[in-house]
């Protein structure tokens, strides 16, 4: 009788053990599934100097017409207090200086296709991107980390305290390497580079409008201070373009 009871007890113990083990395995699978889902939702966060971050591929088509973008474009200096999607940043950078044709032709025209402009991203609140300063490399659709940290306040201070610069989740900075163009066109090349900055900035305006974001061309700032913040003593900053969602 006792032996029979012992066997029954053992069977019960094995059964309970199996039930417990199955429940634990199901829980583990659920938890790891949740973590995997969350990891898939968030783009990787990055901030190591020199590191290259591949941007989401830009779209070359959309439902928002050029006419509507032209009609609705305005300079926007106040933004919704929320972070900007990495895909929107990628789109804005592409509109500014991205590759759109064979042999590296870009979205903005360039005298002699010499491309004297460089674009930097001062990121404060960009999804999946640590606050920092990044250099846009059009050929690879990549951001290269220049330095980590939130430099929007410093940038704003160098731009006569313009609050659009510190309020926006991110700021595009367009700089120029003049001798790429003056090397071929001499003095006249200076004019060409300025014209090109205008083309690039207007592209950003129109793309920003179609994305439901706003921007403003900012030309009032201290060149030397911006050069120091970006660590680009050999380049001339031409425009700051804060970007953020409309209020
Ligand atoms: C070369 C240039 C420099 C500018 N600099 C500034 C600036 O430093 N700060 C600013 O708030 N707006 C600046 N603007 C934006 C103009 O103020 C704006 O384009 C103008 O008021 C017309 O408004 P809209 O762009 O909404 O049509 C600049 C525009 C250009 C073309």
pLDDT band (50, 70, 90) for residue 204? very high
Q: Would you say residue 136 has pLDDT above 60? A: yes
- Which of residues 106 and 17 earns the better pLDDT score? 106
Ligand 1: centre distance to CA 74 (Å):
9
* Averaged pLDDT score across all residues of the chain: 91
Q: Would you say residue 44 has pLDDT above 50? A: no
Ligand 1: centre distance to CA 75 (Å):
7
Nearest CA to ligand 1 atom 9: 218
Q: Is 218 in the pocket of ligand 1 (CB under 6 A)?
A: yes
Q: Would you say residue 42 has pLDDT above 90? A: no
User: Cα dist. 53→15, 204, 227 in Å?
Assistant: 52, 21, 23
Nearest CA to ligand 1 atom 10: 218
Note the pLDDT of residue 37: 44
Total residues found in the chain within this entry: 247
Among 24, 30, 240, CA closest to 151: 240
* Calpha distance 135→131 (Å, rounded): 13
Q: Would you say residue 121 has pLDDT above 50? A: yes
Backbone angles phi, psi at 165, to 5 degrees: -70, -40
Window from 11-20, 32-41, 62-71, 233-242 with minimum mean pLDDT: 32-41
Render pLDDT for 84-119 as a digit per residue (tens, 0 to 9): 999 999 999 999 999 999 999 999 999 999 999 999
* Calpha distance 13→140 (Å, rounded): 61
Note the pLDDT of residue 18: 75
Note the pLDDT of residue 38: 47
* Calpha distance 206→74 (Å, rounded): 9
**Which residue, chain included where needed, has tokens 């083309």?**
199
Note the pLDDT of residue 47: 54
Domain 52-245, CATH = 3.40.109.10
Nearest CA to ligand 1 atom 21: 75
High-pLDDT (> 90) share of the chain, %: 80
Q: Is 202 in the pocket of ligand 1 (CB under 6 A)?
A: no
Backbone angles phi, psi at 243, to 5 degrees: -135, 140
Q: Where are the domains of the chain?
A: 1-41, 52-245
Closest ligand 1 atom to residue 76 Cα is 26
In 10 A of CB 8, how many CB atoms? Answer: 10
């Amino acid at each position: 009788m006792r032996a029979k009871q012992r066997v029954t007890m053992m069977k019960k113990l094995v059964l309970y053990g199996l039930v417990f083990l199955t429940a634990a395995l199901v829980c583990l699978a659920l938890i790891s599934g949740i973590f995997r889902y969350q990891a898939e939702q968030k783009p990787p966060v990055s901030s190591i100097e020199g590191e290259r971050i591949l941007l989401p591929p830009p779209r070359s088509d959309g439902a928002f017409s050029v006419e509507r973008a032209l009609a609705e474009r305005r300079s926007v200096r106040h933004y919704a207090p929320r972070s900007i999607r990495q895909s929107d940043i990628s789109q804005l950078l592409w509109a500014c200086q991205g590759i759109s044709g064979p042999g590296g032709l870009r979205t903005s025209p360039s005298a002699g296709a010499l491309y004297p402009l460089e674009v930097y991203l001062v990121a404060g609140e960009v999804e999946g991107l640590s606050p920092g300063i990044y250099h846009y490399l059009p050929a690879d659709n990549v951001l290269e980390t220049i330095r980590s940290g939130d430099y929007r306040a410093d940038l704003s201070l160098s731009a006569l305290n313009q609050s659009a610069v510190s309020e926006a989740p991110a700021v595009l900075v367009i700089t120029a390497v003049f001798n790429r163009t003056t090397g071929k066109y001499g003095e006249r090349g200076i004019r060409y580079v300025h014209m090109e900055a205008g083309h690039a900035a207007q592209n950003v305006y129109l793309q920003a409008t179609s994305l439901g974001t706003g921007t403003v061309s900012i030309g009032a700032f201290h060149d030397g201070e911006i050069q120091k913040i970006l660590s680009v003593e050999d380049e001339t900053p031409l425009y700051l373009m804060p970007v953020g969602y409309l209020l």
